[in-house]
Structure 1
Amino acid sequence: MTDAEWAVVRPLLPVPGWMRGRGGQPEAYCHRAILDAVRYLVDNGIKWRAMPADFPPWDRVYAFFRRWRDHGLVVEFHDRLRSRVREREGRDTEPTAAVIDSQSVKADAVVGADSRGFDGGKLINGWKRHLVVDTLGLLPGVMVAAADVGDRTAAKVLLGQVADARHRLELVWADGGYTGSLAGHCLAVLALVLQVVKRSDDRRGFVVLPKRWIVERTNAWLTHTRRLARDYERRTTSAEAIVYWSMTLLMTRRLAWPHPSRA
């Protein structure tokens, strides 16, 4: 991280338990060095054991990653950054509208056969990332599942999680893969309006569809980080954590840049 990024990140970091009198031991390494190591791994797609010597030992970095994953700290950190970006853009901290979509990704050989699946539509053997993004392309929620899990099935779970955490969410746009009983479920159970944006049958070639392009752009952002070009994680929770870490890279860089209106 640059000094400008660290100035943004430092006050938003979750406070360790030992600093709040809840026990535990202080970190053995500087938080900035640990964060840089995790960001380097996500951005460059290296193996944990290939961590450069300039960073803390790989097992200490992985222990940090695992602790933040299991205790929800990476989500907490991500959400604080997302709120700050939305405020900077003149938006409320929580969105009222979002877009949902999925992306099938090939799984590496380390991913067990019992957790992966085959997406017959995309002909991909691996996992599927289900994303809910706001109108800025930022991430209120993500769910990683086997590629053979249907979009509507995963959407019920993911939208339920997002609706519980984001009480202001009212409208969700989706593509034709989310038709059927899902709209009724969202309205009756989650108090959400699911609006399907369909492609016109008389249009040929590439067409930018209203609202749906936002989530496609987020998918492109994620694949810029090499760790997400394939799925290398052995657990879906780790894959979800990597997605959140990838978005923190994007948001810290954005917050460190001078705002156009203030330049």
Structure 2
Amino acid sequence: MRDIVNAIFYVLRAGVTWRMLPDCFPPRQTVYGWFSGLRDRGVWESVNHHLVMLDRERAGRAASPSAAVIDSQSTKTTEAGGPRGYDAGKKVLGRKRHAMVDTDGRPLVLQCHAASAQDCDGAVPLLQASRSSFPFVEKTFADAGYVARRVAKATNIAIEIVRKPKNQIGFAVHPRRWVVERCFAWLGRNRRLAKDFETTIASATAFLYAAAVLLLIRRLARST
């Protein structure tokens, strides 16, 4: 089983296709079968949930966070097909990755959808999905793209909009919001996530959670 998980992480980290798995790993059909089974049963999400709590306790924090940050990232897709759309704001044809992270940047809830969906539309299912796994989140920080009544009324989570200064010129790091960008950078170290190569939304989401699991496992291992 460890060889199978290592093979999945190899595909994620190196960005290769299943057919290009080295011979030192189990057969690609076996590895992909396990990956799809773990994906369909929601195992990656469950493992990430437990690792987040362990890493927060290691850092001296409460296991379940009370505050979070949300944001999105638009990513190009390939000829693999599947649901996609055009993000007119960022001029990207592909999919949008939505993330809710804690105030230290640990991924809490990750979702994918077509890039044509607005941030406000993608935030509603993201916030609602967080209620079962992280019910103690009371406040969420977001940028001005989430100013909408449907976002504020989606759950009982209070949405605080972090706006940029009026006189800002050029790039500037904004309080709270930067931790999401750092999280996307952490996940982006895996070449499989350089673009969205997946045919299905489920596989794209599963690889996001697998990247989060790999990140948290390494962090916990370094602390022991």
> What TM-score bracket applies, with the shorter chain setting the length?
over 0.9
Does residue 33 (structure 1) correspond to residue 3 (structure 2)? The answer is yes
8 Å CA contact 1:183–1:193 kept in 2: the answer is no
**Partner Cα separation in structure 1 for residue 3 and residue 128 of structure 2:** 36
Does residue 164 (structure 1) correspond to residue 132 (structure 2)? The answer is yes
Match of 2:159 among 178, 194, 212: 194
Per the alignment, residue 122 of structure 1 pairs with: 90
8 Å CA contact 1:110–1:232 kept in 2: the answer is yes
**Partner Cα separation in structure 1 for residue 189 and residue 77 of structure 2:** 17
Cα deviation 1:139-184 (Å, max 9, x = unaligned)? 1111100000011011111101112321101000000100121453
Per the alignment, residue 71 of structure 2 pairs with: 101
Indicate the SS of the match to 2:105: coil
8 Å CA contact 2:55–2:216 kept in 1: the answer is yes
RMSD: 1.1
**Partner Cα separation in structure 1 for residue 151 and residue 27 of structure 2:** 49
- CA shift for structure 1 position 201: 2.0
Match of 2:195 among 222, 226, 230: 230
- CA shift for structure 1 position 103: 0.2
| Aligned residue identity for 1:178 | Y
**Partner Cα separation in structure 2 for residue 221 and residue 129 of structure 1:** 14
Indicate the SS of the match to 2:93: strand
- CA shift for structure 1 position 75: 1.2
Does residue 177 (structure 1) correspond to residue 139 (structure 2)? The answer is no
* Higher RCO structure, 1 or 2 (CA under 8 Å, sep 6+): 2
Per the alignment, residue 15 of structure 1 pairs with: none
Does residue 47 (structure 1) correspond to residue 17 (structure 2)? The answer is yes
Indicate the SS of the match to 2:153: helix
**Partner Cα separation in structure 2 for residue 184 and residue 149 of structure 1:** 18
| Aligned residue identity for 2:146 | Y
Match of 1:68 among 20, 35, 38: 38
**Partner Cα separation in structure 1 for residue 193 and residue 5 of structure 2:** 18
Larger Rg: 1
**Partner Cα separation in structure 2 for residue 95 and residue 214 of structure 1:** 15
Consecutive unaligned residues of structure 2, counting only runs of 5 or more, are: none
Consecutive unaligned residues of structure 1, counting only runs of 5 or more, are: 1-30
Moved over 6 A (4+): none
**Partner Cα separation in structure 1 for residue 151 and residue 49 of structure 2:** 27
**Partner Cα separation in structure 1 for residue 213 and residue 151 of structure 2:** 31
Does residue 144 (structure 1) correspond to residue 112 (structure 2)? The answer is yes
Per the alignment, residue 84 of structure 1 pairs with: 54
Q: TM-score, normalised by structure 1?
A: 0.83
Cα deviation 1:199-250 (Å, max 9, x = unaligned)? 0120111111000000010011111100000000111111010001001111
| Aligned residue identity for 2:92 | I
